Structure 1
């Protein structure tokens, strides 16, 4: 049976809204994120803009690695409220502004909250 694409996208939106509301009612302590470590502020801003424009995390990461502006770290991981409190103020699917970290910058996209 063929699914209507708009119906599927609507279901995804409902899941994101439910996840967001669940996080607001019982604050989560952990979140699944995609993160890219980038060498400069301008490169980090470009990566964040590409993600915000709808670029896929894997595609953006491959491009940044190919250009030599990103570190080959683990792309997906789990963060806690203590590590990155700003993540817990975002909506799943949001890309946070680049954050200075060590010698470079960290770009984080919130994937989902964990219960």
Structure 2
């Protein structure tokens, strides 16, 4: 199984590039995203640093929750171009820096565009 990993990762990268190219030509209006909702700027900076150092989005979200740093809310959702236009200029797999969100902060990861 492991000997095929590089080929699989190459195919995954091609799919992400294809999604990006489709998004640029067809201009989808919706995207699937993952969220890490954090209570304060310090927690957001801490989790962002972990992600910048190559940490897994899911592991970072799980750690933040275990440490009581998160706010309630769904981890996955759909956003529109009107809500988050910057998401639509990225490649699926992109994780964005923390942004203020209501009473806390949110880190968003683009999962895929919806056609």
TM-score normalised per structure 2: 0.90
Aligned to 1:18: 18
Aligned to 2:95: 95
Aligned to 1:110: 110
Aligned to 2:78: 78
Aligned to 2:58: 58
Deviation per CA, 1:75-109, whole angstroms, max 9, x where unpaired?
11111111111111221111111111111111100
Contact map agreement 1:52 1:95 (CA 8 A) in 2: no
Runs of at least 4 residues of structure 1 off by over 3 A? none
CA shift at 1:22, angstroms? 0.4
Contact map agreement 1:48 1:95 (CA 8 A) in 2: no
The unaligned stretches of length 5 or more in structure 1 are none
**What is the root-mean-square deviation in Å for CA atoms of aligned residues?**
1.6
The unaligned stretches of length 5 or more in structure 2 are none
Whole-angstrom CA distance in 2 between matches of 1:2 and 1:59: 22
Whole-angstrom CA distance in 2 between matches of 1:89 and 1:107: 16
Whole-angstrom CA distance in 1 between matches of 2:2 and 2:52: 30
Whole-angstrom CA distance in 2 between matches of 1:97 and 1:21: 23
TM-score normalised per structure 1: 0.90
**How many residue pairs get matched?**
115
